Amino acid sequence: MNLERTNNVYFIGIGGIGMSALARYFVAKGLTVGGYDKTKTDITDALVNLGVSVHFEDDVKHIKNEFLNPETSLIVYTPAIPKSHKELTYFRSNGFEVLKRSAVLGEITKQTFCLAVAGTHGKTTTTSILGHLLNACNVEVTAFLGGISENYNSNLILNGTEVTVVEADEFDRSFLTLSPDFACITSMDADHLDIYGDASELIKSFEDFSAKIKPNGKLFVKSGLPIQGITYGIDDNSDYSVKNIKIVNGSYVFDVKTPNALLENFKFSLPGRHNLSNALIALAMSVEYGLPHPQLAKALASYKGVKRRFTYQIKTDELVFIDDYAHHPEEINAVHQAVREMYPDKKVLAIFQPHLFSRTQDFADEFAVSLAKFDEIVLLDIYPARELPIEGVTSQWLLDKIENQNKKLVQKSELIQTINQSNAPVILTIGAGDIGEEVKHIKNALNLAS
C-alpha cells in the first residue's frame, strides 16, 4: 500500500464502525473519501456531513469517477461483505489495490508507537479509555475506536501521529496484520466459532497475535488467561491490581497497585466490574508508557463512556433505560452484574436481539442461562448480519430454553407496546444488531408516557 500516491479512498461497507473511523481518518488527511453501505444510518449521515459520498445500492454506476482510477485510488473492504458483491468484484477485476480494513490499519500504525487492545470482550471500552487518557495527557495520539466516544462524539481521536491506539480484532484473524509496541488481551472466551471451528483455534490466534509484538514491547494479560505477560486484575495479586474499591455517588473510587507503587484515589463513572477491569488495563498501559499519576487520575475522572456500552438513555428516580451492545453470554453476564450492583432492589426488563445464527446456535444454552437472570425477558428475532438462516435456529428456539416464566418473543413493531405493558422501572436493550436503531424510538415513547 502506497499512501503517498493515494488521493482517493473508497470503502465497501463504509457504515461499519471500524470502517467509518478509517474514513474519518482519511478525510482528516485531506483525501477524497466515498463508499457503499447497504443501510442508511446515523454513522453514514455523519460521514455525508463531512463531505463523504455514500450510496446504498450495490452498483458500479453509483461510484463517482474520482474513485475509478486504479493509479490513485485505494479500495478498502470489510470481511462482512460477501465475495459476490458487484462493486468488490469490479475493483478486483480491474487492477485496483483492494485491501481489508485490518491491512490498512496495520500499514497506518506501522510507523507509530502502537498500543493495541485485543480480547473477545472489552476492546471498544478499553480502547476508548486508553485513547482518552493519552489525549488528555497531551500525547500526540490517533485512536481508532470501535464505538462512538461520548467525550468526542466520534470513533476517531485525532491529536497527532506519534502514537496510535487500535482495537486488535480477532474476527477472521484481522489482528495478525498489526505489530504493536504494547498490547493487551482482555479476554479469550470462545466466540466467532463460524471462523475458528473450536475454542483451541481461537486461543492459538491470540498466541500468534502476542508473537507479533515488536522486540522490547510489552504484553498485558488479564489474570487467569493462558498467555504470559504483565498481569492485571481486580483485588488480587496481579502486577497491576485495583484495590480499596468504594462506590461513591454512583462512581467507583479506588487505588491501583503497580509493580512499584500504590497509586491512590482514582474515580471512574462506568458501572460494572468489567468496566473497572477495562479502566485498569488502560491505566496500566498508560503508566508503562510513562504518564504521571495526577494527570491520569484527572483524565480518568473525565471519561464519559462509549455509546451503546451501558449507556443511560433515561436516568431518573422512577425510571432507568440503559442500552448496551452486549452480544455474547459473558457480556450479558457483565451487564447483569452492573445493573444489579447499581439497582439491587428493582425489577429489570431485558430486551435482547440475538446477533448471528451461528453465534446463537453455538451459545444457546449459555444465552439462556444469562438471560434467565433478569426479571423479565423480551426477545427479538435474530439479526442475521452476514449470515443465511440455519434450520431450527430461531429466537423462539432460544426462548424455549430460558428457564424464566416472564419471557416473550415480539416483533419490533410490538416492542414499545410490550414495554408499556411492563411495570419494570429498569429497562435494558441489549444486542449488536439493529436494535440500536430502536433506542431513540423507545426513549421517546418512555418520555411521552412518563
Determine the CATH number of domain 311-449: 3.90.190.20
Q: Which of 152-156, 174-178, 342-346, 407-411 has the least mean pLDDT? A: 174-178
Which among 149, 118, 105, 158 has a CA at the least distance from the CA of 285? 118
| 294's grid cell | 495526577
Task: Give the CA angle between residues 220, 224, 227 to the nearest 5°.
Answer: 50
Q: Pick one of 3.30.1450.10, 3.40.50.300, 3.40.50.720, 3.30.70.141 as the CATH number of 3-102.
A: 3.40.50.720
The reported pTM is 0.83
Q: Which helix or strand (DSSP H or E) is residue 34 part of?
A: strand 32-36
- Identify whether the C-beta of residue 101 lies closer than 8 Å to the C-beta of residue 175: no
Distance of CA 164 to the CA centre of its chain: 17
For residue 355, the SS3 value is strand
Would you state the pLDDT for residue 221? 96
Distance of CA 253 to the CA centre of its chain: 25
User: What is the share, in percent, of the chain residues with pLDDT greater than 90?
Assistant: 76
* Boundaries of every domain in the chain: 3-102, 110-301, 311-449
Task: Give the CA angle between residues 95, 97, 103 to the nearest 5°.
Answer: 155
Residue 192 pLDDT class (50, 70, 90 cuts): very low
- Identify whether the C-beta of residue 445 lies closer than 8 Å to the C-beta of residue 420: yes
The terminus-to-terminus CA distance of the chain in angstroms comes to 55
Beta bridge partners of 234: 242
What is the Cβ-side half-sphere exposure of residue 270, based on CA atoms within 13 angstroms?
A: 29
Who contacts 234 (Cβ-Cβ below 8 Å, separation ≥6)?
A: 241, 242, 245, 273, 276, 277, 280
Would you state the pLDDT for residue 184? 95
Query: Is 45's pLDDT higher than 90?
Result: yes
State whether the Cα torsion 103-108-111-113 is positive or negative: negative
Query: What is the C-alpha to C-alpha distance for residues 282 and 274, in angstroms, rounded to an integer?
Result: 13
Query: What is the C-alpha to C-alpha distance for residues 234 and 239, in angstroms, rounded to an integer?
Result: 11
| 360's grid cell | 446463537
DSSP state of 381: P
For residue 380, the SS3 value is coil
Give the best-scoring range by mean pLDDT among 117-126, 137-146, 301-310.
Answer: 137-146
Mean per-residue pLDDT, 313-322:
92
Residue 361 pLDDT class (50, 70, 90 cuts): very high
Which among 324, 330, 327, 346 has a CA at the least distance from the CA of 429? 324
Superfamily covering domain 110-301: Mur-like, catalytic domain (3.40.1190.10)
- Identify whether the C-beta of residue 91 lies closer than 8 Å to the C-beta of residue 69: no
Would you state the pLDDT for residue 205? 82
